[in-house]
Structure 1
Amino acid sequence: MIANRIQFDAVKHDIFHPNQLGGIRQRSTEDAGLILTHLVRAGWVKGLQTSALAFHFSRRRDAYNPSLDLGPIGGTWAFYFDRGLTFHEHVHYYATKAFTTVQAMRMLYATKAFTTVQAMRMLGNSTRGLSPKQRRLLYRSCVVPIATYGYRLWYFDGARNKGAMNQLKRMQRKAALWITGAFRTSPTGGLEALAGLIPVHLMLKKLATRAVYRVATLSDTHPLRSMMGEGLLKRAAPHARSAALMTPAMRGKVKSTVMEVDERVHTLTESFEPFAPEARPGDRLLDRHADRLHFDECDPGQDRRPYLDELIAKARADPLTVLAATDGSVPQSNQYQAASAAIIYKGHRELERTRYVSGRVTAPDAELNAISCAVRLAVKQANCQHIMVFTDSMGSAHRAVDPGVHSGQAFSLSVCRALQEWFEADDLRRITFVYVPSAMRWDIHDTLRSQAAHSVLDSWSSTFQDPTYRGSEFLELQQPDGRPLQPSYLNGGPWLSTFGHSITEFARVCRCITGHTPIGAYYRRFKINEPHGCTCGAALQSRQHILFRCRDRYSVHYPCFLGDIASFMKYNPTAFGFNRDPSGVG
């Protein structure tokens, strides 16, 4: 706590040298890499030859002075520079390291009784080991950060990064094959959709947008600001190669992350306070009143409805308790804006109700906006010692009392200021955030949901419509409302969230949907020396034949929904699998 407070104050009041980077709040080693590459590229445009000089100061007190390796700069987590700043070696190194991590982690459940090879065989096939959901979680949390380390050095507008992108795409394809258990001949687009993995180019685009907006959260004297244009310099002194001192012609020629940030950061409409007084370590709401802030999370083994019914009955009987229900909605169409709503109760009596437009924001931001409104209304109620906020987004509830820099920080600061003043007026006051599953349609929260409908916007649905991306044999299914089933990286997407609990079942489902499965039509398509006919006597064993016409299998109708596929797999446990392996499809 003391160290964090000292660093917070030192950065806020410009105690550190402007060029000191790494190991300091808001000053990462990647910022140093961005500055270096910008200086080199700007020098090239002016026809200059550039060179980098590195110094290494050893802490050893003896005469030993090892030579300095100028290859990777940055130690264990290094940036691999090359003469042309293509970063091919950098991307190749981390893409290889990323997937090697996956292969090593396949042994997580291995015991000492198995050798390394046996353990990898056991956990690397499609019949045993980590479930598909666990594999996806492992990939996203442990592998993606490795693969994308330092990506801002080579990913920006105008960069020639096709080779680097292809390496990452190959890495993600291997991960998708491992997650789904599908055939290696399966199309990449279909595998990514089934595994709930956003395509690499869209993932990097999303990360790059966040990185651009990060500049708005930096201190006024951050070293990166010295490279920016006049609107972003703040109190930083402009460098000789800064965008502020470039001619319009030179600005059009220099291609770097710094130039991209300078051009795009102005599209950000939200303002941030990186050094707000409420965010100072030791003065934060959670630091001073941790015992008066409670989060009633959902217990996986708990039946939530009876618990909530009992909880609200006790709260309504308490004359000093105020109830608040919140909800946010983001429409699927970009023509409409998000909405936030809140209702305040005391006992069974409704005190206030509000609903307003939140703008074009994400669902968590809309939820945060609703929570902020509810808290500010609740603290104004007379004779109140306990506030209970019912929400279906506990992530937004935690962010509501976090004054740090994040999307929707202004709402969090308003909550922190309101609660800080409310707590200081009475030592008995407290607030509880209660989780209500959105699908439960429970009591006061269900009343509120009529004010705002919840939906999720898919980021790559348009690309998914291209048969060359998802595969020409990809089985099209429908949502319950009749709309085509679309991919999503939220909660693993519809396919993984439905079948991801079972390795064997998910592998069979993936092979069925992609059309790359051990059946006669597949053998004939790829000229594999296996029988093309079906066991029922049909001349060709196609997917359509197995799902609907085969006399040896139970089927009611041709599948249109995921539930139909689930029922078919349940009553036909060997369909789309290998007959010679009775335990699974590995």
Structure 2
Amino acid sequence: MKLFYIKAALLNTMLLSFVDDGTILAQSKQLDDNNVGLYTYNPSLDLGYALHTGTSPLKPKTYWRYLGFYFDHRLTFHEHVRYYATKAFTTVQAIGASSIDCVVPIATYGYCLWYFNGARNKGAMNQLKWMQRKAALWIMGAFRTSPTGSLEALAGLIPVHLMLKKLATRAVYHVATLSDTHPLRSMMGEGLLKRAEPHARSAALMTPAMLGKVKSTVMEVDEHIHTLTESFKPFAPEARPGDRLLDRYADRLHFDKRNPPQDRHPYLDELIANARADPLTALAATNGSVPQSNQYQAASAAIIYKGHRELERTHYVSGRVTAPDAELNAITCAVHLAVKQANCQHIMVFTDSMGLAHKAVDPSVHSGQAFSLSVCRALQEWFEADDLRCITFIYVPSALRWDIHGEAHKYVTKLKVRVGRCKMDNSIDALRSQAAHSVLDSWSSTFQDPTYRGSEFLELQWPDGRPIQPSYLNGGPWLSTFRHSITEFTRVCQCITGHAPIGAYYHRFKINKPHSCTCGAAFQSHQHILFCCCDRYSVHYPHFLRDIALFMKYNPKAFGFNRDPSGVGSLLRVGLFLLLEDLSVN
């Protein structure tokens, strides 16, 4: 390999070689330089002389594959997107509707190569949109004339351009978690290089004029990463295997094992009574709060007790962070206050999240890693001083408002600090969550356009009267409700979109079938069947009793229609319509 690079350095060409198949690639600005480079590198090639003289019958490949990426001459990545879009769709067909979360990484593999601000990617986007529409049709068994917007909403598939926007935004912040010498840092600007050597094409070596012209994912990172104030240590000493807190003191770290769904009030009362009777036990109540209004910052609080006597309490703002970040901050504060108490051998921390209790002693890279490292250092020093010391984390449901944990909740909610103009702390989870909410808001706004969702889309609402908005979480509100039966969901989909074998559909697409209803009405629309048809009970009632029973079993809080706020009459009407005819896929 050393000789390989020595030869390549003398040429105006970059040579790449694959160990698995022996392919040699030459990269330069001109084809003639490639030929000379290949001939000079290995004159014994059968076509070496032909390459050197330019009379070779060989033609450059249309595209070539490297590390799973497909490159073409113009770097449009059409072949790359086509390959992975096809692979994603065949995966959906093989696994089924439950495979959506598994398919997204396949369809978007290498998207940073071609998706960034200023990139010409219309052709690639169209291929992914075609793939997603085809997958949605296959999942739901809908008519192929159904609008794409309604299919995406019902299947819980966020539009492709919004999905890529979310992934690209979240990927920007992920760069902050890389080690100081990571190869990607060598391509970044001056502020992100850390200890990495700048690459010849690094943004750090570009002139201001060039920085304004170049468009790439790397440039987007330099532009947006400054909003993240959190720092990470991928190779912190506390995270080394064997030196971690859980490796050295696993027998002194205890987590509440009681089943959370069980009634915890008597259990907690007995637990705290025994703890208060022990003079060597310190009690710590923690709570984090994120106000619903964006005008206020998140807050954290911790209160320390011994017996019935309160020793210390503190609350402070945490900036713009998520609720788990605020709770983790509160646990860190509680541990630091508790380890300072004299004559203390046992600390009991009461928190409303056992997941964050585990994360508090996890030094790996995650949102709030600095808090976890601080907890690990404090507990390690505390454990080393006395072999009898231990700590226990107890789960307390927030809704209980129980004893000292309820007091911590009241205390933290009293602190309300408005968001100021000065720069505040932003955790990586908060920024990632903000990116997700931004695309959901954009999707909801687009969904209101009839040209996107379809003019016949039936608006539904939750039992409390709120209109149902599209979401990709847990398959979306529609698919998650009918996940137990794909046949029922197919019928519901055809009912909601209005693309079903009824008169209105026959009329719109000029199908030679009757447009009238069985009740004698001149025009059979889905609105007529749901709200006006006088034959809906006598003609179709016996056929849908089983489906309605199943529907009520799996969805006791069923949707209501805008015209029927109670939801009961609407439920019967939609059941009647669903089995108006055999609306199966066949």
Tell me if TM exceeds 0.5.
yes
Question: Is 1:173 paired with 2:153?
Answer: no
Q: 1:378 to 1:176 in 2, by over 3 A?
A: farther
Report the counterpart of residue 90 of structure 1 in structure 2.
Answer: 80
Instruction: Measure how far apart 1:548 and its partner are.
Output: 3.2
**Aligned residues: percent identity?**
69
Q: Give the distance between the partners of 2:263 and 2:362, measured in 1 at CA.
A: 31
CA contact (8 A) 2:463 2:567 kept: no
Q: Deviations over 1:298-349 (max 9, x none)?
A: 96xx8x1425642553344333565655554445554443344555566777
Q: With CA pairs under 8 Å and 6+ residues apart, which has the higher RCO, 1 or 2?
A: 1
Q: Deviations over 1:208-263 (max 9, x none)?
A: 22322233233333333333322223333333322222222222222222222223
> Aligned ranges for residues 188-203 of structure 1 at < 5 Å?
188-203=148-163
Q: 1:325 to 1:534 in 2, by over 3 A?
A: farther
Instruction: Measure how far apart 1:279 and its partner are.
Output: 1.7
Q: Give the distance between the partners of 1:359 and 1:148, measured in 2 at CA.
A: 33
2:274 corresponds to which of 301, 317, 326: 317
Report the counterpart of residue 513 of structure 1 in structure 2.
Answer: 496
Instruction: Measure how far apart 1:144 and its partner are.
Output: 1.0
Question: Is 1:476 paired with 2:467?
Answer: no
TM-score (norm 2): 0.71
TM-score (norm 1): 0.71
Q: Give the distance between the partners of 2:271 and 2:138, measured in 1 at CA.
A: 50
2:108 corresponds to which of 137, 145, 148: 148
CA contact (8 A) 1:464 1:470 kept: no
Q: Give the distance between the partners of 1:548 and 1:283, measured in 2 at CA.
A: 69
Report the counterpart of residue 350 of structure 2 in structure 1.
Answer: 389
Q: Give the distance between the partners of 2:494 and 2:144, measured in 1 at CA.
A: 10
2:445 corresponds to which of 450, 453, 465: 465
Q: 1:139 to 1:296 in 2, by over 3 A?
A: farther
Question: Is 1:523 paired with 2:482?
Answer: no
> Aligned ranges for residues 236-275 of structure 1 at < 5 Å?
236-275=196-235
Instruction: Measure how far apart 1:404 and its partner are.
Output: 1.9
Report the counterpart of residue 525 of structure 2 in structure 1.
Answer: 542
Report the counterpart of residue 45 of structure 1 in structure 2.
Answer: none
Q: Give the distance between the partners of 1:194 and 1:297, measured in 2 at CA.
A: 39
Structure index of larger Rg: 2
Instruction: Measure how far apart 1:367 and its partner are.
Output: 3.6
CA contact (8 A) 2:345 2:390 kept: no
Q: 1:178 to 1:569 in 2, by over 3 A?
A: farther
Q: 1:153 to 1:572 in 2, by over 3 A?
A: closer
Instruction: Measure how far apart 1:518 and its partner are.
Output: 3.9
Report the counterpart of residue 486 of structure 2 in structure 1.
Answer: 503
- What secondary structure is seen at the aligned counterpart in 2 of 1:81? strand
Structure 2 residues not aligned, in runs of 5+: 3-10, 26-60, 415-429, 542-547, 549-557
CA contact (8 A) 2:347 2:390 kept: yes
Q: Give the distance between the partners of 1:368 and 1:567, measured in 2 at CA.
A: 47
Report the counterpart of residue 375 of structure 2 in structure 1.
Answer: 415
Report the counterpart of residue 119 of structure 1 in structure 2.
Answer: none
> Aligned ranges for residues 330-369 of structure 1 at < 5 Å?
330-331=290-291, 333-342=293-302, 354-369=314-329
- What secondary structure is seen at the aligned counterpart in 1 of 2:318? strand
> Aligned ranges for residues 290-305 of structure 1 at < 5 Å?
290-295=250-255, 304-305=261-262
- What secondary structure is seen at the aligned counterpart in 2 of 1:224? helix
Report the counterpart of residue 402 of structure 2 in structure 1.
Answer: 443
Structure 1 residues not aligned, in runs of 5+: 1-16, 18-48, 59-64, 107-134
- What secondary structure is seen at the aligned counterpart in 2 of 1:387? strand
- What secondary structure is seen at the aligned counterpart in 1 of 2:171? helix
Q: 1:462 to 1:236 in 2, by over 3 A?
A: closer
Instruction: Measure how far apart 1:579 and its partner are.
Output: 2.8
> Aligned ranges for residues 23-34 of structure 1 at < 5 Å?
none
Report the counterpart of residue 54 of structure 1 in structure 2.
Answer: 16
Q: Give the distance between the partners of 1:562 and 1:364, measured in 2 at CA.
A: 39
Q: Give the distance between the partners of 2:193 and 2:459, measured in 1 at CA.
A: 52
Calculate the aligned-residue CA RMSD, in Å: 4.1
- What secondary structure is seen at the aligned counterpart in 1 of 2:165? helix
Instruction: Measure how far apart 1:508 and its partner are.
Output: 3.6
- What secondary structure is seen at the aligned counterpart in 2 of 1:521? helix
The residue type equivalent to 2:204 in the other structure is A
Report the counterpart of residue 515 of structure 2 in structure 1.
Answer: 532
Instruction: Measure how far apart 1:172 and its partner are.
Output: 2.6
Equivalences, count: 493
Q: Give the distance between the partners of 2:310 and 2:140, measured in 1 at CA.
A: 50
Q: Deviations over 1:530-585 (max 9, x none)?
A: 4434444444333333333344349999724999668744786453246337xx77
Report the counterpart of residue 577 of structure 2 in structure 1.
Answer: 575
- Greater shift, 314-323 or 242-251, is seen at 314-323
